[in-house]
A and B are shown apart, each in its own frame.
Chain A
Amino acid sequence: MEFLNSFILITNYIIIPGLTYGSQLALGALGITIVYTVLRFSNFAHGEFMSFGTMSTILLTWVFIDSNIKFGTFPTAIIVLPFSIIFTIIYCLLVDKFVFKFYRQQKSKSVIALIVSIGVMFFTGGLIRFIIGPGDKNFMDGERFILKAKDFKMLTGLDEGLTIKSTQGVTIILTILLVILLFWFLNKTKTGKSMRAYSDNQELALLSGINPERIVLITWIITGTLACVAGTLYGLDKSYKPFTYLHLVLPIFAAAIVGGVGNPIGAIIGGFVISFSELLITFAYKKIFFYILPDNFLPDGLFQILSTDYKIAVSFIILLLVLLIKPTGIYKGKIIE
């Protein structure tokens, strides 16, 4: 019984939040990785693209709620997601047309494109704050919990409760669906294959008749979709604030690099590595020892490796360690000079 209790404790505080946050990071990291491999620069504006997607979702959710369109206990935000994805894609394409395209044609160094993406980040951030304001927005409606702690205790008779929020469930399911779709697209369709060919060797791809503009278009469609979904899921789970998305860029970059930049599987693995290590390192293990150890062995102290204030710093520390020991990441990624 004690072991069951501690297992539920770990599930409740580490496994489920880890899977949720990891999925959000993985979706974000996928977006960064795809832009990096195909368009060959580190896109610092990705966090703001996510924020833009979330903003469109929030605005559409308000429209839907105002006109009384409801879908039972299902969160409205998920219903409007297809529309906000379209908005995000349009925004990404506009940015590409007016900003990034020039540097691609000039064949500028990737550092220049990186600095350009910072300009885009500033502009988008300002635009978002101008449209929706800098405040906190909660746009979650419908049923809040899939499983409540009380019900779980009643059901199993254990001391520890297990809670699954509906945002957590939705995040994990949507991520699995999107990732399956993405991998099917990249590996099985002709367009996906030509995209991979283009990212491997641009000249050779051009020679074999692949239209680069079409590849770029599809890249931004995928990036916009991923950014919008990742941003919305993060906002649903933690409440939306434009400011937080700027700080989200670094953990996402960390996830992409830890997994190996340019490798989609790596991005997903990296997301989970970051999220679980954040939780494992800042978790207070006292309660688990309380169940496992006999009473008189129980020492005092929280058994925390680092205090929870350092949660996000953990991802940077892991990023640094990976950059030092194995700059190519867990799965060998691409290195673009």
Chain B
Amino acid sequence: MQDKQHIILLFLSMFILIAFVGFFQSWNLALTIFNLCMISSIMSLGINIQWGNAGIVNFGVMGFAALGGLANIIVSMPPTAKAWDAGAIYILIGIIIFILSIIFSILVWLKSGRSKKNKYIINFFLIILGYFLMRYIIDNPIKEIEAIEPAKTGYLGGLDLPVIISWPIGGLLAALIAYVIGKISLGLRSDYLAIATLGISEIIIYILKNEDWLSRGVKNVNGLPRPVPYEIDLQSEAWVLELTKFFNIPISEISSIIVKLSYSCIFFVILIGILLLLEIAQKSPWGRMMRAIRDNEVSANAMGKDIKTRHLQVFVIGSAIIGIAGAMLTTLDGQFTPVTYQPLRFTFLIWIMVIIGGSGNNFGSIIGGFLIWYFWVQSEPLGLWFISQITTHISDTNIIKSHLLENAAHIRLMFMGMILLITLRFAPKGLIPEVKR
């Protein structure tokens, strides 16, 4: 019973913290923070099922989140009609040929066994051949597609479906890629796995940044459709005008609060849904098996558990959850900007959330997501306030003071590092420790 009170107390204080922002800064900001807190929580739930339950180190959060963002484009943007005339189908054919060449070379690799010395050379040439064949097929169509109104389109476009479909699709896309990555790299030791997944996520971002035909690259995709009404449409509705009179705040603010609130409702439902599923999974025999594998691989293996398959399974599930969260994030932003995907913000910050919240506990991940995101956003004004407090006695023209004030925003990195180090040292189990079952 003590545990439940503890959890409720933590969540209550979290809501009070967010309410503080509402009272002292603005409710708009408070809702923005709340929405992003929920997305961060979903991402950390994804990491928690991998690290907390199965002991897999996945540093590829950034890549999976970006794949979710890509799903937004593929599902919801209108197709560029001219691009399909220009031979978009050839791009697909080219990529399929390349993938086939890789599959073929893997088959050759497996068939040739240990004895053959020149299998490296054969495989090398197979893949090179596939690659150049692909380049030969796709280079010209890509050039043509990217030349179609480069300021507006210059890419394939999407399927013009409702954007909410892109969330499960984003999860599926992430799961698909996670399956391939997992097949390749889950056999590695934890350090290597961490570096490998980090590297793969960087490769994904590089592809999204540079393949303009797919995601417009650094030119960004703007104006993604929304699952909720637009502010402008709301402002002409009668009931919104009533509300404006009732609360006595400007109409622009109330419309944007309504939009954010509707996002909050959708996100909340999804968060609770994922949380429930994960809790059921954790309590089920499957969850017990995962923990057994985490705690002692050798004896779990001796009990007849297929460790490789289970690891792959949990890796795919966790990545799919991150993919869903990534898709939601892009929808919330209304645009897809590959440059904003940074490992610091997307990978390591999520890890801090999981560790602080308590690895192995789903409620812990959620509170970690809320708390860390809150301080990540709020430590900038806090740092500025702190610096200006300690430098009040120094005159405004002092170089050191202006320098300090200028760089105060970077205190938040130090702050995050400190929180992580202190938690790991003095409370390695986190805010809400794993439940002993």
Interface positions of A (Cβ within 8 A of B): 41-42, 99, 102, 110-112, 114-116, 118-127, 129-131, 133-134, 246, 250, 253-254, 257, 307, 309-310, 312-313, 316-317, 319-320, 323-325, 327, 335, 337
Contact = CB atoms under 8 A, between A and B. Distances in A.
Contacts of B189: 335, 337
A30 B206 CA distance: 27
Nearest to B193: A323
Nearest to B191: A42
A85 to B, nearest CB: 24
A319 B196 contact: yes
Contact of B407 (A112, A114, A120, A133): A133
Given A123-B421, A320-B184, A323-B188, A129 B410 contact: yes
Given A120-B417, A126-B417, A313 B203 contact: yes
Give chain B's interface residue range (CB within 8 Å of chain A).
35 or more
A312 B188 contact: no
Given A122-B414, A126-B412, A319 B199 contact: yes
A44 to B, nearest CB: 8
Interface string B189-227: 111101110111011001101100000000000000000
Contacts of B185: 320, 323-324
Interface in B371-430: 403, 406-408, 410-418, 420-421, 424-425, 428
Given A129-B407, A246-B343, A312-B202, A119 B417 contact: yes
B184 A324 contact: yes
Contact of A316 (B192, B203, B416): B203
A126 B185 CA distance: 32
Contacts of A312: 202, 206
A118 B420 contact: yes
B96 interface: no
Contacts of B407: 129-131, 133-134
B49 interface: no
B414 A319 contact: no
Given A122-B420, A130-B407, A134-B410, A114 B194 contact: yes
Contacts of B413: 122-123, 125-126, 129
A112 B199 CA distance: 20
18 contacts: A99-B421, A102-B425, A111-B190, A115-B424, A116-B424, A124-B417, A129-B413, A130-B411, A246-B344, A250-B195, A250-B198, A250-B199, A253-B195, A254-B199, A309-B206, A309-B210, A316-B199, A323-B185
A289 to B, nearest CB: 16
B424 A119 contact: yes
B355 interface: yes
Contacts of B84: none
Nearest to A324: B184
A313 B209 CA distance: 12
A254 B203 CA distance: 13
B175 interface: no
A257 B192 CA distance: 9
A42 B195 contact: yes
B353 interface: no
Given A126-B412, A130-B408, A324-B184, 9 more contacts: A99-B425, A110-B191, A114-B191, A119-B424, A121-B348, A123-B413, A125-B344, A131-B407, A313-B202
A17 B184 CA distance: 33
A310 B194 CA distance: 21
A133 B203 CA distance: 28
Instruction: List the 4 closest pairs (A to B, CB-CB), nearest first.
Output: A126-B413, A123-B417, A122-B417, A126-B414
B363 interface: no
- Chain A interface helix/strand/loop/mixed: helix
B351 interface: yes
A120 to B, nearest CB: 7
A319 B201 CA distance: 13
Contacts of B351: 115, 118
A126 B414 CA distance: 5
B156 interface: no
A319 B199 CA distance: 8
B57 interface: yes
Q: Which of B189, B202, B424 has the most CB of A within 10 A?
A: B424
Nearest to A309: B210
Nearest to B181: A320
A327 B196 CA distance: 11
Contacts of A325: 120
Nearest to A112: B424
A123 B190 contact: no
B261 to A, nearest CB: 33
B109 to A, nearest CB: 9
Contact of A120 (B184, B194, B344, B421): B421
A105 to B, nearest CB: 12
Contacts of A307: 210
Contacts of B188: 323, 327
B54 to A, nearest CB: 13
Interface in B258-296: none
A292 B208 CA distance: 36
Contacts of B355: 115
Given A125-B413, A323-B188, A316 B202 contact: yes
Contacts of A112: 424, 428
B410 A126 contact: yes
B225 to A, nearest CB: 29
B191 A309 contact: no
Contacts of B412: 126
A221 to B, nearest CB: 23
B62 to A, nearest CB: 12
Contacts of B348: 118, 121-122
A116 B424 CA distance: 7
Contacts of B408: 130
A118 B199 CA distance: 16
A130 B410 contact: yes
Contacts of A313: 202-203, 206-207
A309 B205 CA distance: 12
B186 to A, nearest CB: 11
A53 B202 CA distance: 26
A119 B413 CA distance: 9
